[in-house]
Copies of this chain bind each other. A is one copy, B any other.
Amino acid sequence: MAETRSALWQDYTWPELQALAEAGAAVIVPVGAIEQHGPHLPVSVDSTCVYEVARHAAQAVTEFPVLVAPPVWWGVSPHHMGFAGTITLSTDTFIAVVSDICRSIGQHGFRRILILNGHGGNASVVNVIAQRLSEQKPPLWVAAATYFTMIAQDLQAIGESDFGGMSHACEMETSLMLALRPDLVHLDRAEDDMRGPWTSFFGWDMRVGGTVYYAYDMKRDTNQGVIGAPSLATTEKGQRILAAATTHVASFLREYQAMPV
């Protein structure tokens, strides 16, 4: 496959994809969200970011081919439906669609599939999808990860905001969008919304996980759909975040490829 240039599954013909399966290509299935991200960011943020991380990681791996499947645009976002533009799938529908995609890919002989998630509301669900796929007979083994969890330590180094500043439409996401799609960022409309979590057990910042899960309602609990400090966003931070995510995802893909399956 020396002549392969694109990382995009959808650009290939069936004989080319058959050859890629035989060549041991890994496949990333990016899953994001169409979800309000405050008055200054488009609803595509989660999908755009995870898709670009996936594409960068796929290009960064040169030892074996890596394909990026068409992105799952919509995630589980019921808690954002109070703001216009959010398109949510129910948890059950999201499980079904991602599972069917993985099953199809696996059926064509691809043995290393990574569901790469870019939306907090999907984080536990993608793990459950991987588990459910292992329940079927014969089992399908896939990996699942949320890219911003993989770079929590990098975010600690990059972030300048206090705890709570990297949560949603925040210092982190606004920076990353500045690096990826500056034409869609309206920094002049950005407004910080910092508030600590209700209990010390809840996760509230991408830099630190929580130990108790609790759903919340963005319409009730925020002013304009923002949690964090978009005012601290910069293009340079976005580039560092993209680089960190690319590095970690690519590293995992290499270890995954070396693993027996």
Contacts and interface: CB of A to CB of B under 8 A. Distances in A.
Given A84-B21, A87-B105, A252-B212, A12 B128 contact: no
A39 to B, nearest CB: 5
A4 interface: no
A34 interface: yes
Interface string A38-65: 1111111001100000000000000000
A79 B128 CA distance: 13
Nearest to A16: B85
Given A73-B70, A125-B128, A200-B255, A212 B13 contact: no
Contacts of A13: 36-43, 85, 186, 189
Contacts of A211: 145-146, 149-150, 152, 248
Contacts of A47: 10, 70
Interface string A152-189: 10000000000000000000000000000000101001
A74 interface: yes
B10 A73 contact: yes
A127 interface: yes
A34 B22 CA distance: 20
A236 interface: no
Task: Select the residue from A109, A150, A211, A225 with max chain B CB neighbours within 10 A.
Answer: A211
B252 A11 contact: no
A199 B127 contact: no
A141 interface: yes
Contacts of A134: 78-79, 215, 217
A139 B142 CA distance: 27
Contacts of A109: 84
A50 B109 CA distance: 29
A14 B83 contact: yes
A6 to B, nearest CB: 9
Contact of A85 (B17, B146, B200, B255): B17
Interface string A71-94: 101101011010111111111110
